[in-house]
Amino acid sequence: MPYLKPWISYADQVNLLIARGMKIEDSALALDYLERIGYYRLSGYWYAFRQRSGPPIRLDEYGRKPKGLKAGTTLSETFRPGASFQNAVDLYVFDKKLRLLVMDALERVEIALRVDISHTLGKLDPFAYLNPALFHVDFASKLDRNSGLSRHHAWLGKHAQLIGRSKDEFVKHNKGKYGLPLAIWVACEVWDFGTMSMLFGGMRETEQDAIASLYGVSNGRVFATWLRSLNYLRNVCAHHGRLWNRNIVEQPRLPPAAEISWVAPFAANDHARARCFLLLRMSCHLLRIINPNSTWPERMKALLSDFPDLEHIGLSLSGIGALPNWRADW
């Protein structure tokens, strides 16, 4: 359909929000936020403030409402009574702090798993990543019907790009002294989270299980879904996307509760499995193994406990997927 929404000035944006029922006590301050952050980005946070009939509507991973709404459900342009511009800003700031803290955890998870993968495969062959015989047959041999390449070939192409554009001194040194290819314990240092998780997903079950068991998960295929989910989480945070109530597209599989007890409440809770709190709990689990002395679990718990007071418009930490007794199980 043709796009008919007109350009409007920042001042008119403030007036439009007021006309739709948003409480704005300081118009100059609201104008400043709109100029620095933008109407469209902030609208992802005040979307949940809008009045509707029927049950709340879940946004897709891009923050859009679904194409089909349930019968009797309508979404209004007006805001719920009491919704304020400051509420949206508070939610935006909370979300920003959440993303930064998540990135702090995922950096440490990524580095630890690079070591695990390179050490495990390097024991088989210093250049194991080049050898298809050391990977699962589906990863090494099954061809994509569109590209005609195996996932291993596709991974090698991505890996070659990362090596080729790296400006790191250790890459230059190893190229100059030993040439290519680089040993896996050197090459792994250029991998991003996606490259690392894709390679783990292609490993043989024996090696997958050995690494997953380090983190209390016996099934390496389950652990592979954890890494894919955490890579999705990382991408959202790295691109400054709205996180707090985002539906998680790459949902992880859960190990048996007998293996990791804290997963039990998530098993029968579709909403909790579709929101980021589960991934935060996974990150907490991994960090307590990687660095038992890390203060990250306590810092994340403190941030979640400081979720903005939005009860007056029907919003709470449950929107992030937190369970009622989450503090006790954290």
* Domain hosting residue 129, numbered range: 92-329
> Structure tokens of 3?
């796009």
State whether the Cα torsion 178-183-185-191 is positive or negative: positive
Number of domains in the chain: 1
Distance of CA 193 to the CA centre of its chain: 11
CA 280/CA 247 separation, integer angstroms: 14
C-beta separation of 286 from 215 below 8 A: yes
User: What is the H or E stretch that residue 199 is in?
Assistant: helix 193-202
pLDDT of residue 196: 98
Listed range (2-6, 207-211, 261-265, 296-300) with the worst mean pLDDT: 2-6
Residue 323, domain member (yes or no): yes
CA 254/CA 189 separation, integer angstroms: 29
Residue 60, domain member (yes or no): no
Q: Average pLDDT in the 92-98 region?
A: 98
CA 325/CA 198 separation, integer angstroms: 34
> Structure tokens of 264?
């039990």
Residue 23, domain member (yes or no): no
Q: Average pLDDT in the 280-287 region?
A: 98
Q: Average pLDDT in the 69-78 region?
A: 70
Percent of the chain with pLDDT over 70: 94
pLDDT at 58 over 70: no
Please provide residue 116's backbone torsions phi and psi, each rounded to the nearest 5 degrees: -60, -45
pLDDT of residue 59: 56
pLDDT at 70 over 70: no
pLDDT digits (tens, 9 = 90+) for 248-278: 999 999 999 999 999 999 999 999 999 999 9
Distance of CA 36 to the CA centre of its chain: 25
Residue 6, domain member (yes or no): no
Average pLDDT along the chain: 94
Residue 155, domain member (yes or no): yes
* DSSP for 5-42, written as a single string: PPP--HHHHHHHHHHTT-B-S-HHHHHHHHHHT-HHHH
pLDDT digits (tens, 9 = 90+) for 113-149: 999 999 999 999 999 999 999 999 999 999 999 999 9
Residue 10, domain member (yes or no): no
66 pLDDT band (50/70/90 cuts)? low
pLDDT of residue 231: 98
> Structure tokens of 211?
């690494």
pLDDT at 162 over 90: yes
Residue 65, domain member (yes or no): no
Listed range (60-74, 116-130, 152-166, 260-274) with the worst mean pLDDT: 60-74
pLDDT of residue 74: 73
Residue 71, domain member (yes or no): no
pLDDT of residue 75: 79
Q: Average pLDDT in the 148-157 region?
A: 96
pLDDT at 72 over 80: no
pLDDT at 71 over 70: no
C-beta separation of 236 from 96 below 8 A: no
pLDDT digits (tens, 9 = 90+) for 174-228: 999 999 999 999 999 999 999 999 999 999 999 999 999 999 999 999 999 999 9
CA 180/CA 189 separation, integer angstroms: 15
